[in-house]
Structure formats: structure tokens, C-alpha cells
Structure 1
Amino acid sequence: MAKQHEGAILPFIRVDDDAALPKFRQIQDRLRLAILEGHLRAGTRLPASRVLADELEISRPTIVRVLENLKSEGYLETRQGSGTFVASDLPPQPARLHERKGTGEAGAAVRPQLSRIGVLASTMSAEIGKAEYRPFLPNQPALDRFPLAIWRKCWNAATRGGQAGWLAYGDPVGEPVLRKRIAEYLALHRGDRCDPEQIVVTPGGHAGFALAALVLANPGDRIWFENPGPVTVYNLFRSLALQVCPVGVGPEGMDVAGAAKAYPDARFAFAMPSRHHPLGVTLSLPRRMALLDWAHSNKSWIIEDDYDSEYRYVGPPLPSIRSIDGYDRVIYVGTFSKALYPAIRVGYLVLPPALVGAFRSMAGLINRSVPVEAQLALAEFIGGGHFATHLRRMRELYAERRAAFVELGSAALDGLARIDCPDSGMNALAWLEGSRDDAVLHQAAVALGVQCYPLSDYVFADKQQAALILGFSGVPADRMKRSFERLAEAIGRN
């Protein structure tokens, strides 16, 4: 009598001769998936390798290889004299694939158990850099004008012959040579002298904000926050369990007196004194002094976000609050994302001397270090004078684009919106006439190929007049006219 073929029938295994995946991988993956989905249960016997090879018209060594691989992974086992079986120690009803992807038996989503902060964060927006580039995308540098050839030379020069040094973990607070170059830049171009030991290099400005909150605040502590203000930073502080207190912004900047009256015991004030985002106003000197006096009297801290300070078109860049701080209450935050390019992910803090030790320890716990080779290349770029040259060229370029933007925008949007272009920064505002809804107009503009943000997205209390936030720095002047025509069409229809 001929020997009977035993083992499960495996009709789901198909081999595609034209597939890029090797045949043994196709068979192996399908067997593994059948076990995970419960189609082949624990203890199920498989056909002998010779039988399976004949059925699939595959060489027997290929099938043997598949079975051995799945044995090593724990999915199969061999019983002496009996053959190959699905491993007996697998769960009796393995999780089905659709359940493992986050749905239950009825197809309903399974909600993971999050921490209190995780639940809060899951309700917030963290959309950064996801908008497709079109005119007039806000906060967009002229990336096509970045001196890539010089940057590559700086990178090669900084990392040549030092592999052992820059492949290891770096200093948690930043490479000494970069901190020295940043201190030199701040002293020369911002009139703000500091010791390189006061500088902590971070992976971007947001990491600096988070570091300050982690070191100095407890859950529930209050922080003044300008309203309107950057929504991602607002959500960051909320996700760190701070009580964010909206503070109005007027022509002279943050309403310091009103904030001190409403929230006198706040732990922090988050301020953008050199150029508020998105309104573009600057904090007046009397309000700067009042802010410093409040921080000193209440033993509070000021987080100074020096947003877009490099790009000022009327006069020199304004001094920072830190440069006039006689109380050591200011934590200065700078970044190279707008001055160079966003993907560089290098920012820095300038700290009061008493905070350096605590921030060093926390930076080591949270960030370990910013990639060393990027720091060394940036130090070479600054030290060689290329950073200052690039800033000068971009100021000139952005000034030209700003002038074209104001002229073309004022003409195209006459009767629809008023163009408000501050003396510094990379963005402008189009204040909408009538009772138009900026969120609706934002969607209409995007549909016509014009990118912008509604001011209402930046407001957390006390609704303001509707406006669209528009970026001019990344748009060549010859593309502006047509884009303004499309924007006017979107506004006119709504």
C-alpha cells in the first residue's frame, strides 16, 4: 500500500514567480501569518517537506530552509518519528491580525490606556512642517538660497580625521567649540555677552522650552502665555501639565500689568519680545523692565523666545531682554531653524549661571546630546564668517521680497483685506474686511493653491479680528502677483 500523505492542507500558500521577494520568504511569511491569525493552531501537523515541495513545485531544500527558520523563531517544533507541528506552547487562540492592529472582535477601536499627560497630549495638534510648500507658507526660509556647497565644505572640514571623537556621545550641553561660537555671535550681533558655559545646545527651540519646564516647574504651575501665540508651544506647555494663562498682546507687546494682576504667582512668563508671533509687535522698554521686576519680586522665570530676531529691516536687531536682566531671571532660547534651515534641529539656551548644573543633568537624561557632527559643522560655519554672510544676504533678499509683497498685496487685496507687514520677521498679516471667517478663507485659499494660516488658530481666549498669516520670505517676487490674484479670488467668493 502506498504511504498516505498526512498533514494540513495549505491552500493559502501561493508562490509568485515574478515577485521581488524570494520564494522561500514568500512561503515562510505566509506560514507565519497563518499561525498568527489562528488558521494553523497549536499542535497542527504540517505536511512532510517532500510533500510540500511537490505541492508547491518548489525544491525540497527550499522547503527545509523555511521549516528550519520557523522552528528557530519558535513557531514550529519537530517530534521524533512523527514530523513537524505548529508549536504546542503557542497560545490556544492567538491574537488575530485585525485585533493586533487595534480593533476588537466587533471591529471597534481598542483604546490604549494612556497617562494623564498622554491623554492631554492626544487631544492636541503638533502639526509642524507638514503643510505643502506653496506661496505664502508662513515661517518658510528661502531654502533655495542656502549655501549648500559652503555648508558641505564646513561639514567635511569639521569631521575630517576625527571619527573617534564625533561618532561617540557628545557633551550633553553641546560641544565646547559650538558654545564658544554661539557666545561670540551673540556678543557681536545681538549685543548680549555671556560665558560659553551658560549655553546649553538643544535639538531645536521646543526642546529648550521643554527642558526649562522640566527643570523649574511642577505640574499645575502657571505660565503666562501671549494670546494670540504659537499653538504648538501652547500645547507643549499644556502637555507638560502646566496651567497656561492667556495674556493679551497690544501694540506695545504683552500686557505685563494685566498679567501680574491676574496671575501674580505664575512660575513662568513665556515671551517673544523682539518679534511677537504671529502679530509681529515688539515689547516696549517699559514693559520689558516691568516684566523683569515682576520675575525678580516673585522669584519667577522668563522664557525669552528670540523669534525671528535676525531679520529686522528697519535699524539693527533689537537687544534681548536677557541683555538688560540684572536679576538673572531670564532663560534665553535661540534656534537656527529659520536662520539656516528647519531640518538642522539645533537650538540653544543661555542660562543664569545658577541653573547651569541642573540643566546639564536634565539635558543628559532627556537629550543625551545633539548629533556631534552637525554641531561641529555649524561651529565651522559660524567661525568661518559664513553664518554672518548668509544672514546679511537673506536680510537683503527678504527686504526686497517684503517690499514687493506689500506693494502687490495692497493692490490685489484692496477692499478685501489690509496688509500689515511688521519691521522684522518672515511673515505678514492680512486683516480681513467685513465679517469674514479666516478659517473658512484659509480652506478656500488652500483649495486655490495659496498656503496661509488663520489667525484664529493662534487665539486661546478673547476672539480677535479675523486675519490670515502669510509668509513672504520663501516666495520669489515674480510668483507673488499670481498668488495674490488667487488669494483675492478666495476672499471675494467668501
Structure 2
Amino acid sequence: MVKQRKGPILPFLRLDDATALPKFRQVQDQLRLAILHGHLRTGTRLPSSRILATELGLSRQTVVRVLENLRAEGYLDTRQGDGTYVSATLPHRQGKVFRPTNEAQPPDVVPARLSRIGNLARNVSANIGRVERKPFLPNAPALDRFPFAVWRKCWNVVTRGGKTANMGYGDVAGELPLRQRIAEYLALHRRDPCDPEQIIITPGGHAAFALSALALADPDDEIWFEDPGPVTTSNLFRSLGLRLCPVDVDSEGMDVATAMHRYPAARLAFVMPSRHHPLGVTLSLPRRLALLEWARENDAWIIEDDYDSEFRYSGAPLPSMRSIDGHDRVIYVGSFSKALYPGIRIGYLVLPPQLVGAFRSLAGLMHRSVPVEAQLALAEFIGDGHFASHLRRMRALYAERRAVFIEAGQKALSGLAQLDCSESGLNGLAWLEGHRKDRLAHRAVLAAGLQCYPLSDYALAAPRRDALILGFAGVPAERMEMLLRRLAEAVASA
């Protein structure tokens, strides 16, 4: 068995033949500075003297001298039979502090000259993914119930034997086996057949939205956007230079008639017809038909975000809007973030035939291809029936947790909030009572070690009652009542 060459690569070590400084001093000084500046952190194992000597073109005796000198100075420790490490007794040092450009900068820092889109992006929030995973985090699936062993087997199938063909760039539209499995799934479970060639795989649903906006709209074009609506998506469209047109949402979904009256020249409409986030309502059939007719008459496009469609607890999942589109005006977007796990970063578009060529080219320019092995593992997972089995188990689990959430929540929040939980999705709403403000309640909930989102953060223009968005899917049923009592105490203190 070949012995592994342990330790980090040290690209900063450079020997200068033009200087009079001895080579052992050059290496010694560079290692010392790397430790002092925090580039080599405490506890880091260094490569062996033999490896360093080979990589630097020095004798091993010279390198041993360097390491012994640094050990004598207190920078290194030697562990018998284990190697040489950066001393654990040194104070922890960090490298240069990074400040995002939208945070306060020191007065001597000159702001970077950015493009128009860069300036727009700098002024919107992009903290998605930084939220701590705590009880009642919205949109959080039960990750502890994910079938890791099965997923690993599917991954092993597509990587077994060192398949080098899967290690290169893939098809810019996505791997054909995955597109075929998605087409089969949509036909069977969403009553929406399509050709696999109409599907383009993207690195998540968010990338699909960006691709659609870039392909179909210019900066300053208008886009209908449901109000309230998902914050990161509205910020994405803003950063791309689109003009957001807030459209109110009521019990029948987006108010299409008002949108047609106020913004008749919009280029795009972004809509969540199966389950609106965060209100949980569905777009009624008359409004779906009106929206489709508007798009046909105005040469506009509809971006359908099929949000949480897999998790419906009463009856079958609702048909997609694309399935009733007779004029090819709908761009359908799906992803596996809620059905499997957010970190998988695989989404997809189902496109009208006339858009496929342009979207394929743009996808290739933007992200070249989504990791091939992940796509093929997912295709295996779907094709072997594991995806359908997982969805079936999760629907049953979430239905149980939803029932406990509603019963215990109504009791715990009595007099504080009115609980509203739609028949689909992973979240519920707690409409606050007694003139309570959702942002204040949100801070109190965070201080109590829980998580939620204030509805006010989702509003674009229309004033609305204050509410907290609560995720129930990631909370075990046996802990629900206790955690809801803690939530109620936090809301009462706000």
C-alpha cells in the first residue's frame, strides 16, 4: 500500500536564488510569517521533512534544521511517531477580516466601481443559507428522516468502477437520464407530460428564476410579483434590474384583474399557483385562465414556481398551471430542496419548445453544467422508486406533525395569535393579536432559542396584519407542545 503524503500544500514557500539569504533562512522566515499571520492555524499538521525537501528541492537535513529551529522558537510541536504541528499554545490569529460590501467600511476604504447590476445587488439582502436551524424554521424538511443509506447506494452505483466519463463537464441542459426521470415524474404525479428535451437542469430553483429573467426581460422591464412574496426571489429580480410590480394576494391567490389594470405592459409574471409562500393559498382556476390569456395577448411570460407541490395533505396534488397552458406561455420551475434537502442544489425548468435553444445556450454560458454525479445519483434515486417512497413517508410524517402543530398551537397561542395552516406545504402562519408587531415578536422568539420569520419582511407595498411564519415539518411531534409553549411565552413578552 502506498503511504499517503499527509499535510497541506504550502504554495507560499518560494526560494529566491538571487538573494544572499541562505535557503534554510528563507524557508524558516516564510513559515514563521505564515504562522504569525494565521495562514497556518494552530494544530495544523505540516508535511514531513522528506516531502518538504522533495517539493522545495532541498536536502532533508536542511529542512530538518528549519523545523528544529522553529520548534525551539515555540512555533512548532513534534508528536512522537505522528508528525510536526503548528503549536497549540500560540494565540489564535485570523487572517485579514473580510467585510461584505454592503456593511460599513472603514473611512479609508474606497468603494469599488461596480456595474449597474452590481450596484443593485449590493443594496439587497442575500443572507439565504445563514439562518440557524432551530425549531419552527420555515421551509425546513425533516432532514433526520432522509434515507442516507439508500442515497449513498445510488451514488455508489453511478461512481462504481471509477467512471471517468462522469468526471467531466456534462450536458448544459442536464444529464438525459435525470431529465427523463423528471419528465416521467411530472406526467405521473403532476398530470403534466413533457418531452425531456424541454427540461433544463439548474443549480437550484433560484438559478432557474435568474436564467428566466435574463433570457426574457431587459433591465427596467416590469414583472408582476405577488405581495407578500419570497424575499430572496424579489431581491434577485431587483438585482437584475427588473421593476417589481406588487400584486395583492387574497384567498384566491394573485389578484390578476388588478394587475392587468395597473401593469398591462409587464414582460413577466412570477406566480406560485399551487401554494403561495408565505400565505399558503392557491390560485383559483378563473384567475389561472385570466393570467394565461393576458400572457397570450401581451406576448408576456409566466414563471410558475411550483412551491411545495409535493406536500398536500388533503387529496391529490393540484395540477400545475403549465398543464392547462394551451399557448406555451408558462415557464415551469421545480426543485428538490424541500422534497429531499436544500444542499442538493438541483432544480429544473420545463420550457415552451420555442425557448429551449436560447435557454440551453444561456445555461451553458452561466453555469456550464450541474455536477454530473449528483444528477446521475438523483436519476437513480428517482428511477428505482426511492423518491416516490420518500415522498409517501414524508407526507405521512408531515401530516402527523401538522395535526399536532394545529392542535397544540391553537391551545398555546390562545389570546396571542390565530393559527392558520393551509392544506399543503411545510409552514403555518400565526396572525398576531393585541396589536403585537411581528418583528418584535420575531426577536423575542430568536432570544428563546427558536426560529420563525416575520410576515412584514415579505411585504412589498400592501399593508397587512402582522404574523409570524412558522415551520412545523422539522419539529418532532413529541416535542411540539413543549416548544409551542416556549414560543407562546416569547410572543407574550414581545
Shorter-chain TM-score range: 0.7 to 0.9
Alignment correspondent of 1:279: 279
Whole-Å Cα distance in 1 between the matches of residues 287 and 480 of structure 2? 37
| 1:329–1:352 CA contact under 8 A, matched in 2 | yes
Alignment correspondent of 1:218: 218
What is the correspondence of 1:226-375 to structure 2 with a 5 Å cutoff?
226-375=226-375
1:165 is displaced (CA, Å) by 1.1
Name the SS for the 2:358 alignment partner. Answer: helix
What is the correspondence of 1:197-212 to structure 2 with a 5 Å cutoff?
197-212=197-212
Alignment correspondent of 1:451: 451
1:120 is displaced (CA, Å) by 1.4
Alignment correspondent of 1:388: 388
Whole-Å Cα distance in 1 between the matches of residues 261 and 313 of structure 2? 35
Whole-Å Cα distance in 2 between the matches of residues 304 and 483 of structure 1? 35
Name the SS for the 1:338 alignment partner. Answer: coil
| 1:412–1:484 CA contact under 8 A, matched in 2 | yes
**Residue 108 (str. 1) matches residue 91 (str. 2):** no
Whole-Å Cα distance in 2 between the matches of residues 167 and 30 of structure 1? 36
1:61 is displaced (CA, Å) by 7.1
Alignment correspondent of 1:485: 485
Name the SS for the 1:295 alignment partner. Answer: helix
Task: Give ranges in structure 2 of 5+ residues lacking alignment.
Answer: 1-20, 39-61, 71-95
Alignment correspondent of 1:26: 31
TM-score scaled by structure 2?
0.81
Whole-Å Cα distance in 1 between the matches of residues 296 and 339 of structure 2? 32
1:122 is displaced (CA, Å) by 1.1
Whole-Å Cα distance in 2 between the matches of residues 429 and 60 of structure 1? 65
Task: Give ranges in structure 1 of 5+ residues lacking alignment.
Answer: 1-9, 16-21, 34-57, 67-96
Q: Deviations over 1:423-462 (max 9, x none)?
A: 0000000000121110000000110112100000000102
Alignment correspondent of 2:179: 179
Name the SS for the 1:241 alignment partner. Answer: coil
What is the correspondence of 1:37-186 to structure 2 with a 5 Å cutoff?
62=66, 108-161=108-161, 163-186=163-186
| 2:137–2:470 CA contact under 8 A, matched in 1 | yes
Whole-Å Cα distance in 2 between the matches of residues 469 and 229 of structure 1? 12
User: Aligned pair in 2 of structure 1 residues 114, 416: CA closer, same or farther (>3 Å)?
Assistant: same
Whole-Å Cα distance in 1 between the matches of residues 106 and 30 of structure 2? 32
CA RMSD of aligned residues (A): 2.7
Q: Which amino acid aligns with 1:246?
A: P
Whole-Å Cα distance in 2 between the matches of residues 183 and 101 of structure 1? 41
Whole-Å Cα distance in 1 between the matches of residues 98 and 400 of structure 2? 57
1:99 is displaced (CA, Å) by 13
1:479 is displaced (CA, Å) by 1.4
TM-score scaled by structure 1?
0.81
Name the SS for the 2:213 alignment partner. Answer: helix
User: Aligned pair in 2 of structure 1 residues 400, 27: CA closer, same or farther (>3 Å)?
Assistant: closer
1:32 is displaced (CA, Å) by 11
Name the SS for the 1:244 alignment partner. Answer: strand
Name the SS for the 1:373 alignment partner. Answer: helix
| 1:159–1:376 CA contact under 8 A, matched in 2 | no
User: Aligned pair in 2 of structure 1 residues 160, 285: CA closer, same or farther (>3 Å)?
Assistant: same
Name the SS for the 1:302 alignment partner. Answer: strand
Name the SS for the 1:207 alignment partner. Answer: helix
- Larger CA Rg, structure 1 vs 2: 1
Q: Which amino acid aligns with 1:235?
A: N
Whole-Å Cα distance in 2 between the matches of residues 199 and 437 of structure 1? 43
Identity of aligned residues (%): 65
| 1:248–1:255 CA contact under 8 A, matched in 2 | yes
Q: Which amino acid aligns with 2:358?
A: A
1:100 is displaced (CA, Å) by 12
| 1:432–1:468 CA contact under 8 A, matched in 2 | yes
User: Aligned pair in 2 of structure 1 residues 492, 217: CA closer, same or farther (>3 Å)?
Assistant: same
Whole-Å Cα distance in 1 between the matches of residues 66 and 153 of structure 2? 50
Name the SS for the 2:425 alignment partner. Answer: coil
Alignment correspondent of 1:460: 460
Alignment correspondent of 2:194: 194
User: Aligned pair in 2 of structure 1 residues 100, 237: CA closer, same or farther (>3 Å)?
Assistant: closer
User: Aligned pair in 2 of structure 1 residues 442, 301: CA closer, same or farther (>3 Å)?
Assistant: same
1:250 is displaced (CA, Å) by 0.4
1:109 is displaced (CA, Å) by 3.2
Whole-Å Cα distance in 2 between the matches of residues 462 and 98 of structure 1? 40
| 1:154–1:377 CA contact under 8 A, matched in 2 | yes
Name the SS for the 2:468 alignment partner. Answer: strand
